[in-house]
Amino acid sequence: MMLAFQAGDDGAFTQLVESYQGAAFAMLRRILGPQVQVEDLAQEAFLRVWRSRARYQAQGKFTTFLYRITYNLALNCIRDDKRRPLYSMPKSAEGIEMEAENGASMAPEEEADQSNWGDIVKQALGELPENQRAAMVLQHYDGLELHEIGEILGISPQAAKSLLHRARTNLRTLLSPYREAEND
């Protein structure tokens, strides 16, 4: 379809969007979470596909090309969020920052009782560094092979394997308090 679009068939682009918008949307949602405007970013991904049609080369799967664009947009969004100033804590009459009323975090066993395991895993996944999170999403949710993950992330397949190992190790560490609470 991309080659047909590249040759001037605008209807092929519509088919691309209809076929792959769900995949782009899901990848963005898994990497960035629900609080971000993933619809806008998915739309931007397809705008970039449109703009890059002249230089597109069919060297691999179209999804790899699309995921690379989508991943770069997700990284840009994460970096932009890190640059934005955090909101300030409420201040007392004397100008001293006070802790938010519900700011105390729950113990893992309390949180596990109030949440299902899937939500806890999603939260832990969100705490991983963005490259580890992306590698986990691409392998476990999208079912991509190491060479495809490497191509999307701009690393070798061996580096992708190492990245996935670090991600799993970090996830195990993040989830261990919940597993222990579950076993008690």
Instruction: Identify the pLDDT of residue 61.
Output: 84
Domain with CATH 1.10.10.10 in the chain: 108-183
Q: Which of 18, 56, 21, 29 is nearest to 133 (CA)?
A: 29
Mean pLDDT by 10 residues, the chain (184 residues): 86 92 88 79 92 84 89 85 46 46 46 64 85 89 89 92 94 84 64
- Taking only the tens place, the pLDDT of each residue in 106-123 is 444 554 444 577 788 888
Could you tell me what percent of the chain has a pLDDT over 70? 78
Measured distance CA(72)–CA(84) in Å, rounded = 19
Task: Please name which of 144, 149, 169 lies closest in space to residue 68, comparing C-alpha atoms.
Answer: 149
Q: CATH 1.10.1740.10 in the chain, residues?
A: 2-83
User: Domain 108-183, CATH 3.90.226.10 — does that match?
Assistant: no
Distance (Å, whole) CA 49 – CA 69? 8
pLDDT for 82: 60
Q: Under CATH, to which class is 2-83 assigned?
A: mainly alpha
